[in-house]
Structure 1
Amino acid sequence: MMSDKKCYRNVTEFLLLRFSDFRYVHQLSIFVFLCSAYIFTLLGNGLIIVTVTLSSCLHTPMYFFLRNLSLIELCFITVTIPKAIYIFMSEIMSISLLGCAFQMQAFVSVGASECLFLAVMAFDRYVAICHPLRYMTVLSPKMCFHLTILSWVVGIFVSFGVTSSIFSVPCCYSNCILHFFCDIAPVLNLACVNTFKNEMTVFIICILVVVIPFLAILCSYINILCSVGLIQSAKGHHKAFSTCGSHLMSVILFYGTNMFVYLRIGTQGSTGHDRIIALVYCIIIPAINPLIYSLRNKDMKQSVSKLPQVVRAYGNTW
């Protein structure tokens, strides 16, 4: 049976078909969208990183985590979009086997880190609202640093497990990936052997790094709602909800799209639709997160408006 299917392990490159089955006008629209969103994401998240770093009034755990989330978003979109833009511009759709494996590993690593980091940010909001007097003690600089490093380290280990599982199976017939980057399902669909074990490996990892952190976030917000219910003043209610609203919006967008794609990893023939969904969590979410966190945050807006003065002050010290 294996010989009939002519399985082979000596694939040296893949072809990223991106949106080649779409009409030309739609492909052109997607290309313009990719370029615009990437530039906007770089500027928006870069602005948050610079503002939080230079503004002393934002040197709190909440903004420390926000700065790291912006860094994650920059890494997340940079892993996939520059290569997709290059393919659109050059029409060279090939990506080496090693390049494909590295892209998948980097993508999974950053994605898993973001899942865990959003849970860390939910814990930050829980402590701030439910235990405000202990906030700076519980979330000390050392604790914030350790939680951030832990998110990145777990993401790296998870990516090794997923990538090694996916690239341990032989390809069959085609090396064409119906996607704009080396995502898990499109690469796994090229296999000419039974991939049940590989799918189960990915599914279990998704449970660990997606579902469990999501449940932790739900628990945090249940406790937050209970605490907010005890607040008597309308001003207190507004402050609590405005503090959590931005983070909750990011959680719904990121976890919703990722659960839809990766918890149904064994569904064949779904990658065409998954490309559209991938535009949401790869591009739209990193692009709008700066807007979500800055437009709803008074301190951030004030710090951004004062940023030119802060930059000039730093420049004068050199």
Structure 2
Amino acid sequence: MDGRDGGQPLDPATGERRRPSRADSLRLTRMPQIPRAAPPPGQGGGPAGPPAPARPVSPPEAVRPKRPTARRRAWIVAGAVLLLAVPIALAAVHRTRERPPAAAAAPVPMESTAEPETAAPSASPPAIPPITGVASSAPVTPSASVPASGVPSAKPGVTGRANPSGANLALQGTASASGSEGDPWKPANAIDGDPSSRWSSGFSDTQWFRVDLGRNWQISEIVLVWEHAYATAYRVETSRDGKTWKRVYSTTTGTGGTVKINETGVARHVRMYGVKRVSTYGYSLLELEVR
């Protein structure tokens, strides 16, 4: 029979205390020990005597529930998260289905980078450098071509029509002047080829006379035929556009008569610019010839 000391069972082999096992705990919980009564005298083979006092039975230890392991706790947490995530996902899907579709955005018009055919080039063409006469019968090129890149190509040199016969180009030109002495001495009289007619300016030093040849020509000579009222100081100039002038001759000791100026170049306009008169009258030209 198992012995007990203070509620701790004893090992029958060694007599030492041992920790109650799970079987002992279950047995004590389910089947508590009842103190045995002493057998009556004459029974049980033992001598008759007073009954032995019953030992107090200590209450069985409460069975401690096992704590959940780490893996079990992880499964519990995962289950709780899953239970919360499912209704949230269902609610989000329901809201997405109820939301009206957004209106399609209108396409943004894209500006064309292609330059229209009629657009002018952004950069001005380079200035025409002055050139000396080049024999050619080709007409003047009005402007340089503009490539697709928008940068104007190099402008070819300006050329004028040749005058191989040496004709007086002023006869088909248009004359103008800063002023005239009167109607009988108008500017056209100095380019009509008649040496008996003339142009006479107003009576002041600063006066000018010019002829427009109508187009650029290859010129080689300019001739001035003065009347008695000539210029002692003057200059002769040529121009292609009537704005920029090139000086081809000048003097401060003019003596009148016929003055021939050799000039090889391209010009449309020829001008005499008077600075000082020989007398109190104006400047008087019988003819101005251009070849």
TM-score range, shorter chain: under 0.3
Structure with more helix by fraction: 1
**TM-score (normalised: structure 1):** 0.17
Which structure is higher in RCO with an 8 Å CA cutoff and minimum separation 6? 1
Structure with more strand by fraction: 2
